[in-house]
Amino acid sequence: MKTIAYLGPPGTWSEAAAILYGGSLHKLLSLGSTPAVVSAIETGLADVGVLPVENSLEGAVGATLDLLIHETDLRITAEVVVPIRHLLLAKPETTFADIRVLRSHPQSLGQCRRFVERVLPKVTTAASLSNTAAVEEMLAEAGSAAISTPRAAELYPVQVLARDIQDKQTNETRFLVLAPEDAPMSGNDKTSIAFSIRENKPGGLVALLNEFAANGINLTKVESRPARERLGQYIFLCDLEGHRDEPLVAAALARVQQQAEWLKLFGSYPAWER
């Protein structure tokens, strides 16, 4: 039986991802922060950990990407994509007119921006560490509501004021499963990397990306993060189709490593099948 660490407490979307990954068959370990999830795996407290990395509405989760780039050598061993359906929760007997403060995780507040602006325009929004923490805080104060999960609605004494309040019904969050080692080839894999270029000059980035095109490798995501050194310096992150052990992928990675100032392999893992 594995221990799966996730950003808790129970009722978060991270818990939903952990359950979807295999939590019904394994032990779940709720932790209070994303760095704590990483530390739990590194120290053997957990076998794997689940962290959010991008949302279809709000984009990248910078905290997770920065951990991968700067603070750990853990590998990605799997990915999980969770459909996100936000609920507006409040204490029983609370009405819309009673709400003065709306609490949720910052990502969730962003994903429900349209609903909040139209339905609760004069309400003060407040960020919580998680969607479940938002519910706990809401229950402890008057005139408060929370954006949270269907699971939280089951776990806490609340009423559902509104359902599916996210800006788009296609809202999804992608989670990474981290472990000491990545996954063997499955036949339908992805590989994630980060790199920096030697010189900031015209064509510098294109030259590296062309190594993948020359080997017929499709890039499914390209984005950048500040390098945390000087203004204007960036680290580029790519997801590509294929496993690092496949000859064409290995050849392209070797060529990129030769040309890049720095390259980090996050791992190869089975692509999520919808």
CA 249 from centre of chain: 25
Q: Average the pLDDT over each of 143-147, 160-164, 201-205 and give the range with the smallest value.
A: 201-205
Q: What are the helix (H) ranges across the chain?
A: 13-18, 34-42, 62-66, 106-111, 113-119, 131-139, 150-155, 204-214, 247-259
Say how many C-beta atoms besides its own lie within 10 A of residue 159's C-beta: 13
Q: What are the catalytic residues? A: 173, 175
Whether 51 shows a pLDDT value over 90: the answer reads yes
- Mean pLDDT of all residues belonging to the chain: 92
Which is more confident, 8 or 98?
98
Closest CA to 192 of 222, 235, 215: 222
- In this prediction, residues 256-265 reach a mean pLDDT of 94
CB 195 within 8 A of CB 240: no
Instruction: Give yes or no for a cis peptide into 121 (omega within 30° of 0).
Output: no
- In this prediction, residues 203-230 reach a mean pLDDT of 89
pLDDT of residue 50: 96
Q: What is the reported pTM? A: 0.87
Q: How many CA atoms lie within 13 A of 146 on its CB side?
A: 33
CB 57 within 8 A of CB 108: no
pLDDT of residue 218: 96
Catalogue all structural domains in the chain, each as residue range(s) with its CATH number.
Answer: 3-84+171-179 (3.40.190.10), 87-163 (3.40.190.10), 189-270 (3.30.70.260)
Closest CA to 174 of 109, 84, 86, 244: 84
> Residue 161: phi, psi to the nearest 5?
-85, -35
Residues across the chain: 274
Taking the alpha carbons at both ends of the chain, their separation in whole angstroms is 26
pLDDT of residue 57: 82
Structure tokens at 93: 């007997």
Structure tokens at 200: 């900031």
Whether 202 shows a pLDDT value over 80: the answer reads no
pLDDT of residue 205: 86
SS3 content of the chain, % helix, strand, coil (to 5): 30, 35, 35
For 140-149, write each residue's pLDDT tens digit: 999 999 999 9
pLDDT of residue 199: 72
What whole-number distance in Å separates Cα of residue 100 and Cα of residue 233?
42
